Structure 1
Amino acid sequence: MASLTPAIELKRAQYRTQFVDEQLKRLTDGFDAYSIDAITGDASFRLYFRIQFKQTKYILMDVSPEKGSIEPFVHLNQVFADGGLAVPKILAVDVELGFILLEDLGSVHLADIVAQQDGDDHYQALLSWLPQIAKLSPSKWMNPYDAAFITQEMDIFKFWLLEQWLGYSSTNDFKKNWQQLTILLTESMLRQPQVVMHRDFHSRNVMYCKDQGRLIDYQDAVVGPVCYDAVSLLKDCYIKLPVEQFERLREESFCQLFNAGLLSNMTYEQYIEYFNFTGMQRHLKAAGIFVRLYLRDGKSGYLPNILPTLEYVIEAAQMYPQFQWLATWLHSEIIPMIEEKLAESL
């Protein structure tokens, strides 16, 4: 995604200051000097700033209209809140200029908690959110997660990671295998009950403010496969759970969805297959996105997550005869090429 020109950046900064000035005057008594500092780390075109005004902090989301719209975020914030989910409170909006002023939730994510403890209680609580998300009212801002969408995501891996980064030349055999893989994963994902899904429900998108979990980054919610959010949370690209904990939590995710009437007569064995197939698609896409962030957006911070993410794919593929070629190909051909690239890039 192309960067804004210096002139547009300067004008953007002026609009940003004007918006913050106006909102602080409206929200506070005795308007005075404030500080505004950029926050890094988001894997998107959105910019975030922390505003300190006396003893109060706010978060400013800045989405230049040239790069996107804030309308999905604003509208889906209300959809999620109406469904009983804890999301950031919106304090002010300028849709035309692309600014949102939000409450400041601090800087503690689920990932930070799990890094210091096993986070089991937190995961148990978050699994209870799965039915709440799934039962949200579909919105016009939620795209259907259909065959075209799934195929487009699969192509992210092929285009960005294989072709653009590794310079991989596809053989006819590979093209046939990849087409069949895409068909099988797509059929599995569309065969599942279709529900509202967050689409990025993982450890960096759950924040804790005053010990209460809050869900963020929900603006890309779609209607799609019922187990997708459970996969995102339990096969996290940034955290790998111990096997015993993962298997126990995966079963709990099944129970939560089943007891909420979202799985019809699905058996746990069928759920596991759906879970594995959905995970393969998600993790191939995610690995491609990490490379895209590096090549297109100049963000190298996600490169170390590529190999752990592809390990999930290998582990799942090894369980099924029809995907043995994928596990072998990734392990013997692609992983060594990635390791060589990482040695050059990091």
Structure 2
Amino acid sequence: MATVFFLSPAEQELILASVVSQPAKNFFSLATQPPITVRLISGGGSDRRFFRVIKEGESMILMVSPPGDRDFAFYLETGELLRSLKIGVPEFYQVIRNEEAIFMEDLGEESLYSRIKSGIRESELIFWYQKVLEVLVEIQLEGAKRCLAYPLLRERVFDYATLRWETNYFRENFLERFCGILIPDKFGLDKEFAALAEKVAAEPLYFIHRDFQSQNLMIKDEQIRIIDFQGARRGLLQYDLASILKDAYVVLSDETRNKLLEFYLEKLKEKGVVISDQEHFCEMFVLAGLQRNMQA
């Protein structure tokens, strides 16, 4: 059960004004009655900021987007879509569109990543990953049907241009700038990246989260909850599957990954999606993982 919205309109306005007017400050103690504390908890990989707001032992999250954030509208629409599918995204208590901010449910601090890193048995790891894959199948298949009714998401596709933007960014910013690698044959490398993008973009379209990894999967009340879904779009099945099974943060053994792949394919089959060419499916799983890990 989500926390009830416990802030008055005046308190909302005061909190939002405080964090917007002092963006470098990461902690506020507001002299209200009762007092309210506001603490920066994450800046993530973008300019979006997340604060935990606490009043009388109750908490919620305030997300503040930078001005003109193109993903803000996608975040709202994706949240609405996933909530309609009974997927465990945070409840939105109050949306302040002119400030591109949302007061939302606090899902706590335990992610799938932190649960695994705390030390769990193999059987428990398999249990949690199977729960995650059940949620993923629901997002991919039911989301693909439902997203066509959402104007922004209907037009947002993981297409060739987006895939090439990712690999160009990887080459320029990671290989050349960060690693300092001098690439002797940029034309040849770009040709390989173009071939990769063509294959990935040619696959049937489902609905994907696009950053479906262990740090974006929270555990609250022993249920899987999902955050950071502003990049969601239509794309190939194997992309999110590779994101979680070839996660940069949690390395699975080949044996475990293969067990989970079999479980995933069985769940697809139960939903009426039969993968007749498993060799092609596995090839695209490898290619999607390559594309994904260049983006991550």
Compute the TM-score of the two structures, normalised by the length of structure 1. 0.71
SS in 1 for 2:40: strand
Q: Distance in 2 between matches of 1:52 and 1:279?
A: 39
SS in 2 for 1:64: coil
RMSD: 2.6
Cα deviations across residues 96-155 of structure 1 (Å, max 9, x unaligned)? Answer: 112110111110000011112142111011111122111212233332111111101111
Offset at residue 246 of structure 1 (A): 1.0
Answer whether contact 1:130 1:256 (CA < 8 A) is retained.
no
Cα 1:193–1:262 shift into 2, 3 Å: farther
Q: Distance in 2 between matches of 1:96 and 1:107?
A: 29
Partner of 2:21: 13
Partner of 2:224: 213
Answer whether contact 1:154 1:281 (CA < 8 A) is retained.
yes
Q: Distance in 2 between matches of 1:103 and 1:11?
A: 18
Q: Count the aligned residue pairs.
A: 265
Higher RCO, Cα 8 Å, sep 6+: 2
Residues 76-225 of structure 1 aligned to structure 2 (within 5 Å):
76-115=78-117, 116-117=119-120, 118=122, 119-134=125-140, 135-136=142-143, 137-138=146-147, 139-142=150-153, 143-172=156-185, 174-176=186-188, 178-225=189-236
Cα 1:41–1:110 shift into 2, 3 Å: farther
The runs of 5 or more residues in structure 2 that have no matched partner are 1-16
SS in 1 for 2:116: helix
Partner of 2:11: none
Output the amino acid matched with 1:218: F
Q: Distance in 1 between matches of 2:69 and 2:203?
A: 33
1:278 to 284, 288, 292: 288
SS in 1 for 2:60: strand
Cα 1:259–1:183 shift into 2, 3 Å: farther
Cα 1:34–1:210 shift into 2, 3 Å: same
Of 212-221 and 59-68, more deviation after overlay is shown by 59-68
1:72 matched to 2:79? The reply is no
Q: Distance in 2 between matches of 1:57 and 1:196?
A: 31
The runs of 5 or more residues in structure 1 that have no matched partner are 1-8, 21-29, 287-346
Cα 1:120–1:175 shift into 2, 3 Å: same
Offset at residue 242 of structure 1 (A): 1.7
Answer whether contact 2:43 2:50 (CA < 8 A) is retained.
no
Cα 1:255–1:187 shift into 2, 3 Å: farther
Cα 1:233–1:69 shift into 2, 3 Å: closer
Partner of 2:51: 49
Offset at residue 270 of structure 1 (A): 1.7
Partner of 1:269: 279
2:63 to 61, 80, 84: 61
Offset at residue 67 of structure 1 (A): 4.7
1:252 matched to 2:263? The reply is yes
Answer whether contact 1:193 1:262 (CA < 8 A) is retained.
no
Answer whether contact 1:80 1:133 (CA < 8 A) is retained.
yes
Of 160-169 and 78-87, more deviation after overlay is shown by 160-169
SS in 2 for 1:182: helix
Cα 1:274–1:69 shift into 2, 3 Å: closer
Output the amino acid matched with 2:183: S
Of 247-256 and 226-235, more deviation after overlay is shown by 247-256
Answer whether contact 1:63 1:70 (CA < 8 A) is retained.
yes
Compute the TM-score of the two structures, normalised by the length of structure 2. 0.82
Cα 1:148–1:162 shift into 2, 3 Å: same
Cα 1:35–1:214 shift into 2, 3 Å: same
Output the amino acid matched with 2:187: K
Q: Distance in 2 between matches of 1:14 and 1:191?
A: 46
Q: Distance in 2 between matches of 1:58 and 1:10?
A: 16
SS in 2 for 1:48: strand
Of 214-223 and 247-256, more deviation after overlay is shown by 247-256
